[in-house]
Amino acid sequence: MLSRLCQSARRLTFRSFSTAGVASEEPNFLEMVNINYDRACQHLDIDPAVLELIKRCDSSLTMTIPLRRDDGAVEYFTAYRAQHSRHRTPTKGGTRYAPDVDLVEVTALAFLMTLKCACVNLPFGGGKGGIKLDPKSLSVGELERLTRRYAIELAKKGFLNPATDVPGPDLGTGEKEMAWMMEAYRFYNYDNIYATATTTGKPVSFGGISGRTESTGLGLYYCLREFLNDPYYTNPVGLKTGIKDKSLIVQGFGNVGYWATNFLEKDGAKLLGVIERDGAVFNESGISVDEVKKYLIKKGTLKGFPKAQFYEDVQDVFKKPCDVLIPAAVERSITGKNAVNFQCKIVAEGGNGPTTPRGEDVLASKGILVLPDLLMNAGGVTVSYFEYVKNLGFIRPGMLTRKLESTTNKWIIDKVMQGDTKPSKGTISKILDGPSEQDLVYSGLEDVMCEAVAETKKTSQEKGVSLRLAAYTNSIKRIYDSMKLTL
């Protein structure tokens, strides 16, 4: 049996980074995932050779894609796709358009997707892809031509297919890119009736599903709510239970950061600070989530936002006191260097890999609770799974049962109205209308996320490990169980 390092989850302590056998400088993203994986493996009674097999990337692809610009010039872009694990198929993972995309980052993200899907028990392996570019430097027409060419090249090489590899949106991409990729695949595979399931995160009119846009932020909200409602986790960090009156600072006010704070604000939390690449704003009295979002969309920057103080150095806001810090931007935002100045009580990871192992050790030494990305941002891929199932089944959620439920509910309402206590007209209308597609998506997402939180809590407390190691341990065990009979 592999040796176990028993620690107290309540004290939130970890094995120090310096003993992990890596260089003293902060590791790159892939090294980070490997370090966390190796730490978790110490708590599993699985053959080390099998653990090494699970760790390795199955296959990766690097391509050069030409693009004829609007002015007639030809430019070349480097593109990637990694399929980390095919223990369950298809592989699933986003498509990233950013200037710093490289094979190391894509491979790390694919590995994280393998673990993330297993953490919330989705039948996917992990994948990830991207193109090294600044999408703002291209016109809409150029972006469409490049995206379609990328999809065609992936399909030719077996990296795009509803049965083998299904991309979704990520940093720098969204609904339109997923629609372009799906359409490009369907054009050349017109006889594949499942072609709509080639991508997820599409517009609803192109086979998407209601609720996908806000799903990652909503999933984080559900998870954070479960932890904040549990005194086992709030008492050690000096917080009262519940979301109400909790103060927030968020890094990254894109899709994840905005929606997470939007749902939290509706439940009584207060946003104090927003951190972006070109600066940050902070107001200890609170900031309206929608007001700062509208300003950011209009101006493209937080500078000049009238209802908060602007800081050129984002680290000045990172170290402001708050209850919950939500890093929802790029990897390695929280390091051993800046974590020493943090005054938050909880770090809820909305982005992928925002905290380095050294950074996490520093946070733990300060008694700060870290809620891991593996769990907290799995809402997006969960609703992508709902969309994938919808596309394969050619039917929207609730279509077969909605009218029957409405008829049944009408009979119940008629009986209730005969009594002394009568529901309001609004309540009656909602009951008779039945659940919408969005209602069903929200309900399904809440169930998946809450179950994953409960499993992570249980493992953390039983094994005496951090929540990150608990999530990794559960994921590795689930992957092993799905492949052990074929080894």
Would the annotation count 255 as a binding residue?
A: yes
What phi and psi values does residue 147 have, to the nearest 5 degrees?
A: -65, -45
pLDDT value of residue 9: 35
Q: Given this model, what pLDDT does residue 417 score? A: 75
Respond yes or no: is residue 128 known to be catalytic: yes
382 has pLDDT over 50: yes
Q: Is the pLDDT of residue 102 over 50?
A: yes
Listed residue (109, 113, 133) closest to 125, CA to CA = 113
Q: What is the pLDDT of residues 132-144, one digit of tens each?
A: 999 999 999 999 9
Does 410 appear as a known binding residue?
no
| CB-based contact 125:117 (threshold 8 Å) | yes
Pairing mode, strands 321-327 and 91-98:
unpaired
pLDDT confidence of residue 123: 96
CA dihedral 199, 201, 203, 208 (to 10 degrees): 70
Lowest mean pLDDT among 1-15, 180-194, 216-230, 254-268: 1-15
pLDDT digits (tens, 9 = 90+) for 292-343: 999 999 999 999 999 999 999 999 999 999 999 999 998 999 999 999 999 9
Q: How many CA atoms lie within 13 A of 265 on its CB side?
A: 19
pLDDT category at 40 given cuts 50, 70, 90 is very high
Q: Is the pLDDT of residue 196 over 90?
A: yes
In this predicted structure, what is the pLDDT of residue 8?
37
Q: Give the up-direction half-sphere exposure of residue 308: CA atoms within 13 A in the CB hemisphere.
A: 27
Residue 116 marked ligand-binding: yes
Planar angle of CA 40, 44, 48, nearest 5 degrees = 90
Indicate which residue of 55, 128, 240, 319 is catalytic.
128
| pLDDT, tens digit (0-9, with 9 covering 90-100), for 415-465 | 677 777 777 777 777 777 778 899 999 999 999 999 999 999 999 999 999
Q: What is the pLDDT of residue 412?
A: 76
Q: What percent of the chain has pLDDT over 90?
A: 83
Q: Per-residue pLDDT for 17 more than 90?
A: no
pLDDT in tens, 230-250: 999 999 999 999 999 999 999
Which DSSP string do the residues of 139-157 spell out, in sequence order? -HHHHHHHHHHHHHHHHHT
